[in-house]
Structure 1
Amino acid sequence: MFPDFAEQLRLREQQGLRRFRQIVEGPQATHITIEGREYLAFSSNDYLGLANHPDLIRSVCDGAQRYGVGAGASHLIHGHSAAHHALEKALAEFTGFPKALLFSTGYMANIGVVTALVGREDAIFADKLNHASLNDAALLSRAKFIRYPHLDMAALERRLAESDARRKLVISDAVFSMEGDIAPVQALVALCNKYQALLLLDDAHGFGILGQQGRGSLSVPGWQKHRLPNLLYMATLGKAAGVFGAFVAAQADVIETLIQSARSYIYTTATPPLLSQALLTSLKLIEHDEWRREALATNITQLKREVQSLRWKLLPSMTPIQPLLVGDSQEAVRISQQLRERGLLVPAIRPSTVPQNTARLRISLSAAHLPHDIRRLTQALQELAAA
């Protein structure tokens, strides 16, 4: 007998946990149109406002003229184009690693890396608030899955010291997608060096935003990436970079191992080369448009200042991810809906995405938001809090 899917869906809706898709008409921007109505959006990961940049659009058109649309095959057959190869070289240089490897998505990158590098005789050590893709990767690897409290380096060290696994792999978000806080990257590197563990950092929400010229969470003065043989750096290209895809940067032998063994790389069609052409342009904008990061920092400061008096409090974050903690899932959904009625899009994030009783509004800021955009949001929140 089939499970009662309808009843399961009814219960999810009753608990305020059912999710719905929204059909966007037109390009991603701070102002978007859904079903004929315009909204001011605080729900996108387009942190630098590049998703609809005219230079990227021109690069896509040029790429389509040169390479066509589809890649036609996997990278290991004949789908690896000159555009893919040029982008991998540019990403390696930009992040300071010897080699980089493109993946179709961040999810596929994490799955591919973890399952290629560890197995049954190994152990994975993971921050409890890691992204779902890292958790799923750990489970698929069949390695022993050991979690430590969020950002607790002392607990991580105890677990590493106690382990006699053949190979140890520490996996962590660099910027946590629902918290907005930043992992202690230097402490993680030091612990992994001490206990001879590999380290995979997921910088999906830090790449393009943090570090010198947006080079990411690993852009630490004095670090020479070629002398960090146990470090793997993953970042996505559909957030701050404004396009699509992901990459892993690491030592040459690690990248070659992934080419030979990462199933989510081997057994999938390569992404359209025109996207790589656009990303080469995006990298230049990320590197040279410092004003975008400056505008983003100004927007973060303004939001923090203007919501101080609210009964809901922002979680500690200096990144574009600004979570407003509500607690109850149904109340978070209600506030999100009332903002929507005012033409403001701010998603309610609920369990199981976040822990129980920590439902929140996930406010995502962009360099493209203007001061009056943020003021419109904060005034609406003040009205709802007073009601």
Structure 2
Amino acid sequence: MNASDSPRPSALDWLVEAARVRDAEGLHRTLAPRRADDGVLNLASNDYLGLSTDPRVIAGAIEAVQTWGAGATASRLVTGTTALHAALERELAEFLGTASALVFSSGYLANVGVITALMGRGDLIVSDGGAHASLIDGCRLSRARVVVVDRGDHEAVRTALRERTEDRAMVVTDSVYSIDGAVAPVAELYAAAREHGALIVVDEAHALGVRGRGGRGVVDELGLSGAVDLIVTAVLSKSFGSQGGLVAGPTTLRDHLVDRARSFIFDTGLAPAAVGAARAALGVLRAEPDLCDRVRENARRLATACGAETPSAAVVSLIIGEPAAALEVARRCLADGVAVGCFRPPSVPPGTSRIRLTVRADLGAKELDRVAAVVTRARTAVAATDAVRR
């Protein structure tokens, strides 16, 4: 065999070394399928109100499937828009106090869609340093110039907007930061945007169902619902226990997104089951507006028991330090029957790997006490092991 006849190395061979490096740094991820009957107390999900298993929400999904079938069958602009989709969008707009709403197949697609449809070359986006990856990716895909400021630094936003040479500008932020549940200075960011003729996109993914009147979010809490040049995005996959994303704002915005948002135009419509479940969840939240108060109270109780700072939303964040230590705490918790989230770089800065406890409105006092005991035991054991190693 000639040298020229020898098998060529694969263009993907470099992945082996990349995987080895990630594993050595404690940054390897695995998919761990869960069973419906595993008996684990789940504090790793984003099911803030516990509605994903609520019989009323499940019934809404079943009815939608029986009426409309298993899938939307096509993109929203072809046959993927049903009367069910239209009803959900009207109800979401009414709930959020906006003129219109448009539902996407995921929150990720909603954020990417609204940013890329509104911003492009020759525009400026000022991105809050705590923005979710979907907002970040929307900024990158837009091809606009992007300035990233420190999390919540509204004065830096003002400076970036004041010094810009571009005519059009946008500010993007989460209303509740996903990593630690802290509330962003939305009022100050909005004021900065308005002072300098910019739009602001506020992602309410972790605030919908948790903050504001009856769970209407931080924007509502601040009296900014329907405010000029303020666009709300959110998800149906957290407090609503379903799937999907949304953009809410003026009707001109909705019309523009239908014409220009690629992640809407070229994606199959949200499945009827998800739409039906989301509508039912919205109905539950309207009927039981105290659910949002209940989840925040549960979060405060758990944070106190775990020695954490009082949370502003439904997330209790406990910094462990290094990735391997955070993974071990999460592993010990799971072995003890409690699932917790584990966040490592690049989701968080180096040295701040943590476990994240996502509290639900349907948890009782005994369950919260159990979680606190399990987490405390795991943290103590890992800290002791690290001390011995040092």
Q: What's the TM-score, normalizing by structure 1?
A: 0.92
CA distance in 2, matches of 1:167, 1:60: 41
CA distance in 2, matches of 1:7, 1:142: 32
Determine whether 1:14 maps to 2:24.
yes
CA distance in 1, matches of 2:287, 2:358: 23
The 1:232/1:337 distance shift into structure 2, 3 A limit, reads same
- Aligned residue for 1:219, secondary structure, equals helix
Determine whether 1:352 maps to 2:353.
no
- Aligned residue for 1:337, secondary structure, equals helix
Select 2:326's aligned residue among 318, 325, 332: 332
CA distance in 1, matches of 2:44, 2:225: 36
Task: Specify every segment of 5 or more residues in structure 2 that has no aligned partner in the other structure, as ranges.
Answer: 1-8, 382-390
Cα deviation, 1:72-97, whole Å, max 9, x if unaligned, reads 11111122110000111111101000
Structure 2 counterpart of 1:381: 375
CA distance in 2, matches of 1:280, 1:51: 12
Structure 1 counterpart of 2:240: 241
CA distance in 1, matches of 2:172, 2:217: 17
The 1:257/1:240 distance shift into structure 2, 3 A limit, reads same
| Deviation for aligned residue 1:383 | 2.8
Amino acid at match of 1:243: S
Select 1:368's aligned residue among 341, 362, 365: 362
Amino acid at match of 2:17: E
- Count of aligned positions: 371
CA distance in 2, matches of 1:224, 1:315: 29
- Larger Rg, first or second structure (1 or 2): 2
| Deviation for aligned residue 1:222 | 4.6
| Deviation for aligned residue 1:237 | 0.1
Q: Is the 8 A contact 1:83 1:274 kept in 2?
A: no
Q: Tell me which moved more, 171-180 or 69-78.
A: 69-78
Cα deviation, 1:334-375, whole Å, max 9, x if unaligned, reads 111111221221122100111111101111100122212221
- Aligned residue for 1:25, secondary structure, equals coil
Task: Specify every segment of 5 or more residues in structure 1 that has no aligned partner in the other structure, as ranges.
Answer: 27-31, 309-313
Q: Is the 8 A contact 2:88 2:275 kept in 1?
A: yes
- Aligned residue for 1:275, secondary structure, equals helix
Amino acid at match of 1:146: V
CA distance in 2, matches of 1:291, 1:142: 42
CA distance in 2, matches of 1:142, 1:361: 34
Q: Is the 8 A contact 2:210 2:296 kept in 1?
A: no
| Deviation for aligned residue 1:221 | 5.9
| Structure 1 vs Structure 2 CA RMSD | 1.5
Q: Is the 8 A contact 1:213 1:288 kept in 2?
A: no
Cα deviation, 1:204-250, whole Å, max 9, x if unaligned, reads 1111111001111111365451xx23111000001000111011001
| Deviation for aligned residue 1:274 | 3.2
| Deviation for aligned residue 1:320 | 0.9
The 1:74/1:239 distance shift into structure 2, 3 A limit, reads same
Structure 1 runs of 4+ with >6 Å offset: none
Q: Is the 8 A contact 2:187 2:222 kept in 1?
A: no
Counterparts in 2 of 1:222-371, with a 5 A limit? Answer: 222-223=223-224, 225=226, 228-308=227-307, 314=308, 317-371=311-365
Q: Is the 8 A contact 1:131 1:173 kept in 2?
A: yes
Structure 1 counterpart of 2:137: 136
The 1:306/1:164 distance shift into structure 2, 3 A limit, reads same
Q: State, as a whole percentage, how many aligned pairs show the same letter.
A: 33
Q: Is the 8 A contact 1:179 1:315 kept in 2?
A: no
Q: Is the 8 A contact 1:236 1:245 kept in 2?
A: yes
Cα deviation, 1:150-176, whole Å, max 9, x if unaligned, reads 111111111111112121010001111
Amino acid at match of 2:28: R
